[in-house]
Amino acid sequence: MAKKGLSYSPSTALIEGAAAIGKSKLPTEMKGLQALTMFGGQKIEQQRQRVAEARKNIDASVSEILINNGALGDTHFEYATKQANLFKEDYMEGVFLNNADGEILKNKALNSLAKLSNGANEEQQLKLNFAKNWDAGLYTTNLDDKDSEILDFYSKDKYTLSGYNGNKIYTFDTSAGKVTKTYEEIKELTTRLKDGADGSKTLSDEFGNVLQNHVFNQFFVGVGEDGKSKFFKRGAAEQYFLNLFEKTGIAFSDQMADNKFNTKTIKEMLLADTTLLDDVKKVIKDIPDIGDAGIDINDVVDVLLNHKNSAFKEAFENGSIQKVIANRLTNALLNENAGLLTSQSKTDPPPPPFKGDEKFAINRDVVNPMFPDDSKDRDFYVGSKLVKDIEKKLGALYSNQEFNDFAGNKYEPVIVKGKVVGYYVYYRDSKLNKKVSGGKKYGEYIARGHKDMPKSETIKQFIIRQYLGLDAYEYKGSKGGKYDPK
């Protein structure tokens, strides 16, 4: 009898039972695998959307920045493209990190992009103003050939750009070779307009104003106690000029180059001043004598006027240069108006006889030798003094006797074979007398060869000018006669 074949048809109940048994033997945490898989998929999709949205936003920002920089020309567009892509990479790295460190990267990148954008907007305005002023020829005459060439190249976009994080470095291929400038240096160059370019009064205009007789009389002429005699207010004039000067070194240097006093430029006026070196040496100590190492008057004037001279910066910052030039302008002002102080009409009565009770105005600083060169107290303001006291001091000086200056320091002549060869100076503060000669302590010794004494002056002339401020005073002679200050 044939055997009955085995049946392999599926049994639904059996399969479902086996599956139930298998499911019951899975670990408890694996029962939610399907839910976890679904949750993970959602998170990935959210991450993808977040990154896509961040990329979309940063791309839009970069596009706007490139448009702003493109307005400055191809060179700026290429530079901005490289920079923006670097910042974009940093930003997207922060997006992927999606943590505190990522936030730092994103913020840093956004700040850099903002700087790149703001810089482009600022430079667009700078270029507009520069082009207008450059075409109108409104730049200072004090630009040297190098600076003029750089500005010309800048106006024609003839440069390459480098630098990082919005700190642009401009490289110019000039006739003197490659020159690099930062954006801040370029910006400073483009602001160097000539005096009065903005429509304000120039220094030349101010000079012309004070040269008018009525203005000079009003501000710089004083009347003596007798109600008739006149004197020049030197201190007021020097302060007037100091107030007109620009406050930064470069602006001051440009101002001096762009203006004239009467018909002469400031440089021409200084070059013609035969006593300039002596006064400059008092305030700028490392200036050598003319003739030493090929130094001439042009080198001295260059220190006073050229902001690129190595000695200019310190001397300008401590006010020395301004004082020298204000003094020279004051001298020029007095020379132009001297007639207003000394001229008399034919009907004027003769001057009164000398009585010694009048005052003489010494409206300037003199040197108080008791203080060192770098002390603010070395400049001593004299003011007005009784003529009889002035005559007494000069009488003692000319008679080879000891006398005191206006600051209270005593001068004792050293006489050899009837001739004065020098003076010992005893400081008012005796504690400062530290040098010794003949058992006596003194402050300093004044003789030929003194560091501040010009070769053209005698010892007495030097003392009169340097320490008494009486070089403009005409000695009458207390006992009659007029002494020669030798």
Q: How far apart are alpha carbons 284 and 322 in whole angstroms? A: 12
Cβ neighbours of residue 123 under 8 Å, at least 6 residues apart? Answer: 72, 76, 183
Tokens of 42: 């959602």
pTM: 0.58
153 residue type, one letter: F
Q: How far apart are alpha carbons 20 and 211 in whole angstroms? A: 116
- Least Cα distance to 220 among 382, 366, 353, 331 occurs for 331
Kind of pairing, strands 419-426 and 177-182?
Answer: unpaired
What pLDDT, on the 0 to 100 scale, is given for residue 466? 92
For 93-110, the pLDDT digits (tens) are 888 888 999 899 999 988
- Indicate left, alpha or beta for 291 from its phi (over 0: left) and psi (-120 to 50: alpha): left
* Summary mean pLDDT of the chain: 82
Tokens of 237: 């004039």
What pLDDT, on the 0 to 100 scale, is given for residue 274? 77
**Alpha-carbon torsion 190, 253, 218, 340, what sign?**
negative
What pLDDT, on the 0 to 100 scale, is given for residue 343? 39
At 433 the three-state DSSP class reads coil
Q: How far apart are alpha carbons 485 and 399 in whole angstroms? A: 10
- Indicate left, alpha or beta for 408 from its phi (over 0: left) and psi (-120 to 50: alpha): left
What pLDDT, on the 0 to 100 scale, is given for residue 207? 87
What is the domain partition of the chain in residue ranges? Answer: 43-127, 138-190, 198-343, 356-486
Q: Angle at CA 120, nearest 5°, toward 119 and 126? A: 90
Q: How far apart are alpha carbons 443 and 78 in whole angstroms? A: 70
Q: Hey, which bits of 220-324 come out as E strands? A: 221-223, 230-232, 260-261, 264-265
What pLDDT, on the 0 to 100 scale, is given for residue 141? 94
Tokens of 214: 């009525």
Whether the Cβ atoms of residue 470 and residue 362 lie closer than 8 Å to each other: yes
Mean pLDDT by 10 residues, the chain (486 residues): 47 51 47 54 73 85 84 89 89 88 90 88 93 94 94 95 88 94 95 91 89 83 79 88 92 94 89 79 62 69 91 88 91 78 42 59 88 88 86 87 92 88 93 89 92 88 92 68 43
What pLDDT, on the 0 to 100 scale, is given for residue 283? 65
Q: How far apart are alpha carbons 482 and 355 in whole angstroms? A: 16
For 271-284, the pLDDT digits (tens) are 888 778 777 776 66
